[in-house]
């Protein structure tokens, strides 16, 4: 009896022990802050919020001694034993439903590791501001032409509005697209020629996407594809139908019909009830691509930098709800929340704009490959001049390359004439040599159009004193002022500083300041003077500042309202104008001799791409390339339309130096208002790196630390810039080495520095 009593008593006495165990159990949320603290933090989830806290939502948490409330991303939730030190509790939940899926959380974690960014920084980057701030939309009516026969002939303004309202469009967008007043539009509604087409799902005051009111371009599906196109399409459809990932590279000359292959692959993707993401370098420079997708598929979400946060939020929600089948956009569109992704396409995959210039410095091509692999869908990369990294992966057999060697429709690649600027016979008073001038005259006389590429905006690239040689430089940057007219303004293309240039030299007071070099503005003036009566337009960032200006200029060029189009590299991309008979590259060397190992690759790509704008129609065409180094492999390959020849000459050089694609680079850029502080901190980083390399058990001989040295642009926005580089065969190994070297660094107050993994810009 007594034995039974003790055991029962001990049984009851253990009660509080259970309660204690229970108190040690709980729900823990792991959160990441958008800025400030780098590492993930754990918080206790109180019972009242247990059902509301989920990974992918934002939560409010107390931070620091003052328990200041901060917004953070919840990345994981687990039940289990609580740590000995008490945890602070989550205060509230910001979002009704998760903004980020499990896959997006995995992706952002991988991106943070791959490009050495903070996880919170990456999470902020993948969510558009409009989504983070939940911008509300106001429903506004869409107007559409009724098609009713008007009682009397419409005025020119009315006719313009009716043509632009062939598809539903907001009143604001109509005024923006046609220049007509609200009164004209209201009058057309009153007489029954315009009517309401339901309520817009777009935010008030902006046209839908990017091309409202422009004439719809008819791109009928061709009756049959060329054999090379058929083979390329089959290479994409095979993994698509099999539900597996494969990366297919379409290496096709300019005009070989790559876009039609994309369109038909997207068509098949949609037929399976799936969605497609199509990335283009810059929306404003590729309006024709967007038009073609819109003409073929109707409902297309176009994501680009001109969208307001509210518009972006609206598009984001439509995509997430599965209401949009095709998403076309620039770099960040790769993060579109497609619930049924079936295909990813990257057009002009070699473009540097696919690499983000600010933190997190990701490359959209690598992100797309991660997503395509995770989702088990095909990734299609298209270019006439694939990046060397892409080419090498095809040569290694990791990716599949499909060649499209000929133009569709039977048009031939235009002959290319190189003009050696060192030859006295090529000398001219302006930037246009006699050979190029003759070519322009030939094209104009035959009723064709002309495109002239000069990758230098402004009037003159420098202003120099003829007496003492002094060059006018920006006081904030290590860059010469570019002369812009009218008004003799000196503009720094590094920091944007604008100043009125003096009439005499500030160094020797001689009144002998002369403009040196030629920019697009000066070239435009020379062309107008040399070819009076021709209609000339210029496309560069100076003339294309207003919304829709790219589209208006390109539409005018397509409609033959412009004879000669002068521009920077923005005219080189993906444009198809059959009437262009001559393309002139005014100075092919402009980017060839920069302090960047990719300079020759970029030059070859640019000259090849712009040359491809010529001769697409029945009139044929020519390309004239002005250069001081016609024997350079990049220029020779572009002139021969043989990009592979350039690849064959460049890859062995890259391999010998362990440059990408045979190695990886991590670049460090240090900035400070105090030059010595920048130099010292760059030196500290390099010393740490060298120590870590020396401590490596093996392979240390393959890793190089270069620097520290002043950056090629040694001063920018009043900050001195020093840089260093780490080279090696294995990117993962380099990143680990950098983490060890920089783990305990305490950055001085007067210094800022960045880490750029696999940079595309080295200036």
Residues in the chain: 763
CB 40 within 8 A of CB 31: yes
pLDDT at 668: 96
Quote the CA–CA distance of 3 and 6 in Å, as a whole number.
5
pLDDT at 8: 43
pLDDT at 23: 58
What CATH number has the domain spanning 410-457+518-654? 3.40.50.300
pLDDT at 21: 52
Query: Token digits for 206?
Result: 């902006």
Chain segment 401-457, per-residue pLDDT in tens:
999 988 887 778 888 899 998 888 877 778 899 999 999 999 999 999 999 998 887
CB 317 within 8 A of CB 344: no
Query: 553 pLDDT exceeds 80?
Result: yes
Alpha-helix residue ranges (DSSP H) falling in 590-663: 599-611, 633-639, 643-657
- pLDDT band for position 134 (50/70/90)? low
Q: Please, which residues have CB within 8 angstroms of residue 554's CB and are 6 or more apart in sequence?
A: 287, 288, 575
Which one of 180-189, 492-501, 632-641 scores highest in mean pLDDT? 632-641
Quote the CA–CA distance of 29 and 92 in Å, as a whole number.
12
Chain segment 333-349, per-residue pLDDT in tens:
999 999 999 999 999 99
Query: 205 pLDDT exceeds 50?
Result: no
Query: 20 pLDDT exceeds 90?
Result: no
pLDDT at 11: 40
CATH topology of domain 664-757: Alpha-Beta Plaits (3.30.70)
pLDDT at 13: 45
15 or 76: whose pLDDT is higher? 76
Quote the CA–CA distance of 323 and 300 in Å, as a whole number.
10
732 or 543: whose pLDDT is higher? 732
Chain segment 231-286, per-residue pLDDT in tens:
999 999 999 999 999 999 999 988 888 999 999 999 999 999 999 999 998 766 56
180 or 205: whose pLDDT is higher? 180
Q: Which of 24-33, 163-172, 328-337 has the lowest mean pLDDT?
A: 163-172
Q: Please, which residues have CB within 8 angstroms of residue 366's CB and are 6 or more apart in sequence?
A: 114
Q: What mean pLDDT comes out for the span 705-721?
A: 90
Closest C-alpha among 29, 91, 31 to residue 60: 91
Superfamily of chain region 28-76+86-132: PriA, 3(prime) DNA-binding domain (3.40.1440.60)
Is-same-fold flag (28-76+86-132; 664-757)? no
Q: What mean pLDDT comes out for the span 520-524?
A: 89
All structural domains of the chain with their residue ranges? 28-76+86-132, 141-199, 410-457+518-654, 462-516, 664-757
- pLDDT band for position 467 (50/70/90)? confident
Query: 1 pLDDT exceeds 50?
Result: no
Q: Which of 342-346, 374-378, 619-623, 678-682 has the lowest mean pLDDT?
A: 619-623
Place of tokens 């990369």: 381
- The whole-model pTM stands at 0.82
pLDDT at 576: 74
Average per-residue pLDDT for the chain: 86
Helix pair 102-114, 119-126: axis angle to 10 deg: 130
Peptide bond into 661 cis (omega under 30): yes
3-state helix, strand, coil in the chain (%, to 5): 35, 25, 40
pLDDT at 294: 84
Residue 614 DSSP SS3: coil
Phi, psi for residue 103 in degrees, rounded to 5: -65, -40
Quote the CA–CA distance of 534 and 444 in Å, as a whole number.
9
Task: Return the exposure string of 367-393: e unless at least 16 CB atoms fall within 10 Å of the residue's CB, then b.
Answer: bbbbbbeebebbbbbbbbbbbbbbbbb
pLDDT at 755: 96
């Amino acid at each position: 009896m007594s034995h039974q009593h003790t055991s029962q008593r001990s049984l009851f006495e253990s009660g509080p022990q259970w309660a204690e165990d229970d108190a040690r159990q709980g729900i823990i949320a792991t959160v990441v802050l958008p800025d400030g603290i780098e590492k993930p933090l754990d918080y206790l989830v109180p019972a009242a919020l247990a059902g509301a806290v989920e990974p992918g939502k934002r939560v409010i948490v107390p931070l620091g001694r003052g328990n200041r409330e901060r917004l953070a991303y919840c990345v994981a939730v687990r039940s289990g034993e609580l740590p000995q030190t008490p945890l602070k509790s989550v205060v509230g939940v910001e979002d009704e439903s998760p903004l980020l899926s499990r896959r997006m959380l995995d992706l952002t974690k991988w991106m943070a590791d791959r490009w050495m960014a903070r996880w919170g920084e990456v999470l902020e980057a993948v969510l558009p501001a409009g989504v983070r701030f939940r911008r509300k939309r106001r429903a506004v009516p869409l107007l559409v032409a009724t098609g009713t026969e008007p009682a009397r002939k419409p005025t020119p303004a009315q006719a313009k509005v009716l043509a632009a309202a062939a598809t539903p469009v907001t009143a604001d967008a109509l005024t923006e697209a046609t220049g007509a007043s609200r009164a004209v539009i209201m009058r057309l509604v009153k007489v029954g020629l315009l009517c309401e087409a339901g309520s817009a799902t777009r935010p008030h005051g902006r046209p839908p996407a990017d091309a409202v009111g422009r004439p719809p371009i008819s791109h009928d599906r061709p009756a049959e594809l060329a054999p090379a196109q058929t083979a390329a399409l089959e290479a994409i459809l095979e993994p698509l139908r099999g539900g597996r990932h494969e990366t297919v590279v379409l290496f096709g000359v300019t005009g070989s019909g790559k876009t039609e292959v994309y369109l038909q692959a997207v068509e098949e993707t949609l037929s399976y009830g799936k969605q497609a993401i199509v990335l283009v370098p810059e929306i404003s420079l590729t309006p024709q691509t967007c038009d073609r997708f819109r003409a073929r598929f109707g409902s297309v979400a176009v994501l680009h930098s001109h969208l307001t946060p509210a518009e972006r939020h609206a598009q984001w929600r439509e995509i997430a709800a599965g209401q949009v089948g095709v998403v076309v956009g620039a770099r960040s569109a790769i993060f579109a929340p497609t619930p049924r992704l079936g295909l990813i396409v990257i057009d002009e995959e070699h473009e540097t704009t696919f690499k983000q210039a600010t933190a997190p410095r990701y490359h959209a091509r690598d992100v797309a490959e991660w997503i395509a692999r995770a989702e088990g869908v095909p990734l299609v990369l298209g270019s006439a001049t694939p990046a060397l990294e892409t080419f090498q992966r095809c040569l290694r057999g990791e990716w599949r390359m499909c060649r499209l060697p000929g133009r569709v429709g039977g048009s031939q690649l235009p002959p290319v004439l190189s003009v050696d600027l060192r030859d006295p016979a090529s000398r001219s008073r302006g930037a246009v040599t006699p050979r190029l001038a003759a070519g322009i005259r030939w094209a104009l006389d035959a009723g064709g159009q002309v495109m002239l590429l000069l990758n230098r905006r402004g009037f003159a690239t420098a202003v120099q004193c003829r007496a003492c040689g002094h060059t006018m430089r920006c006081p904030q940057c290590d860059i010469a002022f570019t002369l812009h007219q009218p008004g003799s303004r000196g503009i720094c293309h590094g920091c944007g500083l604008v100043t009125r240039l003096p009439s005499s030299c500030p160094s020797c007071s001689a009144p002998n300041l002369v403009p040196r070099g030629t920019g697009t503005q000066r070239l435009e003036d020379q062309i107008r003077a040399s070819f009076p009566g021709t209609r000339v337009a210029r496309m560069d960032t100076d003339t294309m500042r207003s919304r829709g200006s790219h589209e208006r200029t390109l539409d005018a060029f397509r409609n033959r309202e412009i004879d000669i189009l002068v521009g920077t590299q923005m005219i080189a991309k993906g444009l198809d104008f059959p009437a262009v008979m001559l393309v002139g590259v005014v100075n092919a060397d402009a980017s060839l001799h920069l302090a960047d190992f990719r300079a020759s690759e970029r030059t070859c790509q640019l000259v090849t791409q712009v040359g491809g704008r010529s001769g697409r129609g029945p009139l044929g065409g020519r390309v004239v390339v002005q250069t001081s180094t016609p024997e350079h492999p990049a220029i020779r390959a572009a002139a021969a339309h043989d990009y592979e020849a350039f690849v064959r000459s460049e890859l062995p050089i890259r391999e010998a130096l362990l440059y990408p694609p045979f190695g990886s680079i991590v670049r460090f850029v240090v900035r400070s208002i105090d030059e010595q502080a920048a130099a010292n901190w760059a030196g500290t980083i390099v010393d740490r790196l060298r120590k870590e390399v020396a401590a490596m058990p093996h392979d240390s001989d393959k890793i190089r630390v270069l620097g520290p040295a002043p950056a090629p642009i040694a001063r920018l926005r009043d900050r001195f810039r020093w840089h260093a580089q780490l080279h090696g065969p294995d990117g993962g190994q380099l990143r680990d080495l950098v983490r060890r070297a920089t783990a305990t660094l305490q950055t001085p107050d007067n210094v800022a520095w960045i880490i750029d993994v696999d940079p595309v810009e080295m200036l």
